[in-house]
Amino acid sequence: MRYQRSSALFREANTVLPGGVNSPVRAFKAVGGTPVFVKEASGAHFTDEDGNRYIDYISSWGPLLFGHAFEPVLQAVIQRAKKGTSYGMPTALETELASLAVSMVPNIDKIRFVNSGTEACMSAIRLARGYTGKHKIIKFAGCYHGHADAFLIQAGSGAVTFGSPNSPGVTPGTAQDTLLARYNDLNNVRELVAANRGEIAGIILEPVAGNMGCIPPASGFLEGIRELCDEEGILLVFDEVMTGFRLAAGGAQQALNIKADITAFGKVIGGGLPVGAFAASADIMSHLAPEGPVYQAGTLSGNPLAMAAGLAMLTEMNRDPEVFERLADKTAYLHKGLEKTLQERGIPHTINRFGSMISLHFTAEAVVDFDSAALGNNPDFNRYFHGMLDRGVYLPPSAFESYFLNDALSYEDLDNTIAAAEELFSNW
Ligand SMILES: *Cc1c(COP(=O)(O)O)cnc(C)c1O
């Protein structure tokens, strides 16, 4: 493939955008090379500025459950835009999308719309702190909750006590209120809680992790955390920005039958427009302004175009509830195909999968947490990424990201993807 025009556009972008992009993973830093610039997309495919066509496995990092330029969402946005694009006043649409979301997701009575997953998680934590009157939170290494200060934390030297900033600009004062735990390690969480008894407002996690590849929760892990939260008066915050309306209509809470106290959404709920949301029981949500004292606001929150897109998306999955099973079947098919060719070539690997999330790690070790996921962040992954890209398959450009399948993918697309992998691995 030729990437001439993408290269030129990237050089030009670098003169006015830091790193040439508006979100770091797009810059291909981890895998090297030039990011492809998208010209247009439809269904499961997109075309870049050089005219190359790809099968898309990131679906805008999750939102596009039915694929690109999905007609019901498209029409909803176009029709709504004709009536004005923003008012800063309430609309009936907000209540409509809220009611639908509340009817689909277990354990929530009320919802607040924001503009991104970052905002959703940031606000969920503020609400947890405001509700409990406690300061500290526990997060898990490798779980991503957006770029708010409280989440840009790595293990400090005394990992069992304090976190430390993992980005300049995050203050040590903020970092000391975020404790870092190992994913799938319940004892580690128990230790942290015991060492900080009475100080923890919330435990936040991805119920199925998708930001260190796909890592499903070990049996008993979430149940154990739920129990611990109940014993200690800690709020359990599920970051369902990735899993919400993707693993099931009711997200991971439905798929895994676990109750969270506060749930954060993003991605699918906006149908491809910038939407986030957080939701909880009426009691917890009553602490939020203007009903309660915990402040949170947004000029474009509940934006009519975004609400119309989200409403079309959620309406469509209610009309076609088999979509989740179809997606899981397609993902299992891809898993089987990749597994077969990797095995035949004797290439060490681990494939993790849950619903329509899947990731291939170039390590034979079980990938269950950040450290084991990091074993697969190696030159083999980069070769694989570029080898597939050159064969017209667009995978996440980082060993720490999950693929997100969309329902526009056909079995022919999946066969073509598996054939590309076969060709690549036969010359490995
Ligand atoms: C994408 C993501 C976020 C951040 O959402 P943005 O819309 O990018 O701010 C938060 N949590 C999880 C689990 C995510 O996957």
54 lines ligand 1 (CB under 6 A): no
130 lines ligand 1 (CB under 6 A): no
Asked whether residue 270 falls in the same domain as residue 225, the answer is yes
146 contact partners, CB below 8 Å, separation of at least 6:
116, 117, 118, 119, 120, 121, 122, 241
Asked whether residue 253 falls in the same domain as residue 176, the answer is yes
Asked whether residue 314 falls in the same domain as residue 170, the answer is yes
Q: Which domain holds residue 362?
A: 4-69+322-426
Domain stops at, among 253, 286, 319: 319
Asked whether residue 361 falls in the same domain as residue 283, the answer is no
- Best residue among 144, 215, 263, 301 to mutate for probing ligand 1's pocket (most ligand atoms within 8 Å of CB) is 144
Total domains in the fold of the chain: 2
Asked whether residue 149 falls in the same domain as residue 251, the answer is yes
DSSP tally for the chain: helices H, then strands E: 14, 16
270 lines ligand 1 (CB under 6 A): no
Asked whether residue 267 falls in the same domain as residue 124, the answer is yes
What CA–CA distance (Å, rounded) separates 162 from 156?
A: 6
- Best residue among 59, 64, 145, 215 to mutate for probing ligand 1's pocket (most ligand atoms within 8 Å of CB) is 145
Query: How far, in Å, is the centroid of ligand 1 from the Cα of 205?
Result: 12
Q: Which residues are catalytic?
A: 144, 239, 267
What is the residue-level pLDDT of the chain in tens, covering all 428 positions? 899 999 999 999 999 999 999 999 999 999 999 999 999 999 999 999 999 999 999 999 999 999 999 999 999 999 999 999 999 999 999 999 999 999 999 999 999 999 999 999 999 999 999 999 999 999 999 999 999 999 999 876 554 456 788 899 999 999 999 999 999 999 999 999 999 999 999 999 999 999 999 999 999 999 999 999 999 999 999 999 999 999 999 999 999 999 999 999 999 999 999 999 999 999 999 999 999 999 999 999 999 999 999 999 999 999 999 999 999 999 999 999 999 999 999 999 999 999 999 999 999 999 999 999 999 999 999 999 999 999 999 999 999 999 999 999 999 999 999 999 999 999 99
Query: How far, in Å, is the centroid of ligand 1 from the Cα of 412?
Result: 30
Asked whether residue 57 falls in the same domain as residue 130, the answer is no
37 lines ligand 1 (CB under 6 A): no
Asked whether residue 63 falls in the same domain as residue 194, the answer is no
Asked whether residue 310 falls in the same domain as residue 344, the answer is no
The pair of structure tokens assigned to 56 is 């898309």
115 lines ligand 1 (CB under 6 A): no
pTM exceeding 0.95 = yes
Domain stops at, among 319, 343, 358: 319
Q: What is the CATH number of the domain that holds 400?
A: 3.90.1150.10
Give which of 119, 122, 101 is closest to 111, Cα–Cα.
101
Query: How far, in Å, is the centroid of ligand 1 from the Cα of 117?
Result: 4
Asked whether residue 191 falls in the same domain as residue 289, the answer is yes
Asked whether residue 410 falls in the same domain as residue 273, the answer is no
Q: What is the CATH number of the domain that holds 250?
A: 3.40.640.10
Asked whether residue 326 falls in the same domain as residue 419, the answer is yes
121 lines ligand 1 (CB under 6 A): yes
Domain stops at, among 270, 296, 319: 319
What CA–CA distance (Å, rounded) separates 235 from 229?
A: 6
